[in-house]
Structure 1
Amino acid sequence: MATTKVLLNFPWAKNKEHDLKSAKTKEGISELAQKVAKSELREDKEIREQSLMQMREWISKNYDVEDVRIDDGFLLRFLRNKKYSIPMAEQQLLKYLNMRKVMTHLSYNLDFLDPCVKNLFDNGYIVVSPIRDKFGRRTILYSANGLNGIEFKYEDQVRAHFIVLEALIDSQEEQVLGVVHIGDFSGATKEHITIWRNPADLMRLLKWGEQSLPLRHKEIHLHNVSAILKFVVDAGKSVLSSKIRNRFNVHLTTDDMKKSIASVDVLPKEMGGKIPLAEMIQNFKMELATSRSTILALDKMKIINDSGIIGRRNVDKNNNAVSEKSDQVIGSFRRLEID
C-alpha cells in the first residue's frame, strides 16, 4: 500500500523537480492543477475569492434552496466547471439540486456500504485507479464482468456511479484536472442492457447527468464493445453534448484502447498496468470510507422551488428530444428480451 500511496500522490513524477510541482500549494491544489486552473478555467486568487463571495451571497438570499453547503470545496465544483461564469454556476447548482430531488431513489442515501452497492465495488464493477495519468488525472475503470445483470437492479448500478462521481467531485484536484473513463465490456451480455426496462430512463439520466453534475470528463474510452451494445452506445452519445461526443472513443480491442490512452499504468495489472485489481478495489474502498459521511450529508440540501432554473418552459421539448432517441432503441431492447 505504501507504493500505491506514492503513485497516487506523485504518479507522473520522474524526478525531484516534478515531485515539488505535484506537492500541494497554499492554494490547496498541486502546482500542476494551479497552472491548469489558470490557463483553462481563468482562475486566480482574486477571481476565486470574489466568485465565492458572490455565490455565498446569492445562496443566502435564495429562498428556493435550503441547507446548501457554502464551503469553498462545494461551491468551487460549480464555479470551476463553468469557468467562473457566476450565472452559469448558479444555474448548474440549481440543476444539481433539482436532479437529486427528481431522482431521489438514485441519488439519495449514497452509502457504499449498502449491501447491493458494496457488492458492485467488491466485484470490481467500478473502481478509481490510484495512479494518476501523465496529465495528473484520475481514471474511473468499469468492468461489465463486475455486474451481474440478473442479480442486480439498474438502481444499484446508478447509485454506485453517483457515489464515485460525488467522491471525485469533492476533490479540488479533480475539479480542475478532470477525470478519464475507461470501460471494459468484454463480459457484457444482453442482461446488461435489459436491466434498463425503460430506455428513456437511461437516456434522460445521461443527459441530466452531464448538465447537472459538475465534473470535467476529459476522455471516455470503451473497449470490447459487442454488436448488441453498439446501438446503446450510439443512442447514449446522441443525447450528450457535441463536446462530450468528441471525447468518446470506442475501441474493438483492449490493445487498441491501450494505444490511445495517456498512461497504461492506470490500468489494473491484469490488463498491463501497475497495480492488481484487488489492491485497487481495497484502496478505493478506503477512499470511499473517508468521504462516506460527507456524501451522505448531501441529503440535507434541498431545493424547494425549481422556478429559478432558466429554461423550465423548454423542459417538455427537451424531454421529447430524449424520448425520440429512446424510441429508436426500444424495439432493440424488446428483441433482446425475447431472444
Structure 2
Amino acid sequence: MVQDQGESTVLPEALLKIAKRELREDRCTREQCLEQLRNWVAKNEDLRNVRCDDTFLLRFLRAKKFSVPMAEQTLLKYLNIRRTFPHMSTQLDYLEPRLGDLIDQGYIFAVPQRDKHGRRVVVINAKGLNPKIHTSCDQAKAHFLTYECLMEDQETQITGLTHVGDFAGVTTAHVTNWNPTEFARIFKWGEQSLPMRHKEIHLINVPSTLKWLIDFVKNRVSSKMKNRLIIYGSEKELMKSVDQGCLPLEMGGKVPMREMIELWKQELATKRDLILGLDKSTLLSDRGIQRKSSFNAEKASTGGPNFVSQIESIEGSFRKLEFD
C-alpha cells in the first residue's frame, strides 16, 4: 500500500458548496469516508501498491457521492479494467511516439479554460485520428490518459466534465478500426469502472449514416447519460450550450486549437510521473467485485445477451457504408 501523501487540497468556498449540494460532501463526511476507504485498502488482500492519498481516493468517493461500499466497488472495477486491458489503459506516457502523435494531431485534449459551471471541457476531434496509422489501442490510450490526468484535479472531481465531439471527417475506417468483441467489453465496463462525472456530451458534424449507431449506444447507457447527450446541426447551435471561450477557433471559439493542444501537453507533463506511477497498483483477484445474476447483469449493462453479436453486425453494416 502506498502511504497517504497529504491532506486534501484546500478548496474555495464556492466549490465546497457545489460539493455539498451535488455530492453530499462536507468536512466530516469527507474525513470519515476517507478513513474508512483507506482502512479498507490497507486490509484488502487482493490489492497491492494502491495509492492512498486523498486526491486519488476522493475520485471514487465523489463519483459515488460518498457511499463507501460503492466507492470500494468502483475502485476494484477500475483496477480490474486496467488489469484486463493493460494494452489500452497502462503505460500512458504522452512522450511515447504513437500516443504523442495523437495528442499533437488534436484527437483529444482538455481546453485550458473552465466553462461557466467550473467544468473542464474535453474536445474530441475525429480528424485528429488517422485509422490507417493509429489503432483502437492508441485511441483508447489517448482517452485513458486524458481522464487520468483530469481526475488528478479535485476541482474537476467535484464539477465534472463536459465533452464536445466533432465528427467531421469520420470514415468507415474509424468505426471498423475496433475489434467488435473488445469494443463491446470496453463499452460495457467503461461507464461503471472509471470514476468520472460526465455532465454534458455535445456532438457536432455527425454524418447521417452514423446517427443510428449513436442511437444504438444511447439505448445501452443509463437514462441519465442518455439525457446528457445532444447532437447539434451547426456550430451556432453548439455555442448556445457550450461557452464560446471553451471551444477552439476551428469550432467557433477564440483560441486556436494548436495553442490549446500545446497547453494541454504542458499539463500532461506536470502529471506524467503520477500517471505512470498508477501502473504499480495491482489487483490480484476480481473475487471482491459484486455481480448480479448473470442474465440480468448482462441484460442491464449491455442491452441484452447478444450485445457482442449486435456489435459485429454493426461492423459488417459499416463496411458497406459510404459517409457523406
Q: CA deviation at 1:114?
A: 1.2
Q: Map 1:1-339 to 2 at 5 A.
A: 28-198=10-180, 200-261=181-242, 263-311=243-291, 314=294, 317-318=297-298, 321=303, 324-338=306-320
State the one-letter code of the partner of 1:299: D
Q: CA deviation at 1:206?
A: 2.5
Q: CA deviation at 1:234?
A: 1.9
Q: CA deviation at 1:276?
A: 0.9
Measure, in 1, the Cα distance between the counterparts of 2:16 and 2:50. 26
Measure, in 1, the Cα distance between the counterparts of 2:280 and 2:305. 32
Compared with structure 1, are the counterparts of its residues 234 and 201 closer, same or farther at alpha carbon in structure 2 (3 Å cutoff)? farther
State the one-letter code of the partner of 1:45: R
State the one-letter code of the partner of 2:110: V
SS at 1:225's partner residue? coil
Measure, in 1, the Cα distance between the counterparts of 2:121 and 2:277. 25
Compared with structure 1, are the counterparts of its residues 315 and 216 closer, same or farther at alpha carbon in structure 2 (3 Å cutoff)? farther
Compared with structure 1, are the counterparts of its residues 33 and 197 closer, same or farther at alpha carbon in structure 2 (3 Å cutoff)? same
Measure, in 1, the Cα distance between the counterparts of 2:215 and 2:307. 10
Q: CA deviation at 1:163?
A: 0.1
SS at 1:260's partner residue? coil
Measure, in 1, the Cα distance between the counterparts of 2:206 and 2:266. 31
Q: CA deviation at 1:232?
A: 2.4
Q: CA deviation at 1:242?
A: 1.4
User: Cα deviations across residues 17-59 of structure 1 (Å, max 9, x unaligned)?
Assistant: xxxxxxxxx9522333211101111111111111111111111
State the one-letter code of the partner of 1:236: V
TM-score (norm 1): 0.87
Measure, in 2, the Cα distance between the counterparts of 1:333 and 1:206. 15
Assess if the C-alpha contact under 8 Å between 1:204 and 1:322 holds in 2. no
User: Cα deviations across residues 213-261 of structure 1 (Å, max 9, x unaligned)?
Assistant: 1110000001111123223212222222111111111122222222222
Give the paired residue count: 312
Compared with structure 1, are the counterparts of its residues 222 and 189 closer, same or farther at alpha carbon in structure 2 (3 Å cutoff)? same
Compared with structure 1, are the counterparts of its residues 320 and 250 closer, same or farther at alpha carbon in structure 2 (3 Å cutoff)? closer
Assess if the C-alpha contact under 8 Å between 1:30 and 1:173 holds in 2. no
RMSD of Structure 2 on Structure 1 (CA): 1.9
Measure, in 2, the Cα distance between the counterparts of 1:175 and 1:303. 23
Compared with structure 1, are the counterparts of its residues 224 and 256 closer, same or farther at alpha carbon in structure 2 (3 Å cutoff)? same
- Unmatched tracts of structure 2, length 5 or more: 1-7
User: Cα deviations across residues 185-206 of structure 1 (Å, max 9, x unaligned)?
Assistant: 01111111111132x4223212
Measure, in 2, the Cα distance between the counterparts of 1:30 and 1:289. 25
Q: CA deviation at 1:208?
A: 1.1
Q: Select the structure that is richer in helix.
A: 1
User: Cα deviations across residues 299-332 of structure 1 (Å, max 9, x unaligned)?
Assistant: 1111111111111653895277466234334334
SS at 1:68's partner residue? coil
TM-score (norm 2): 0.91
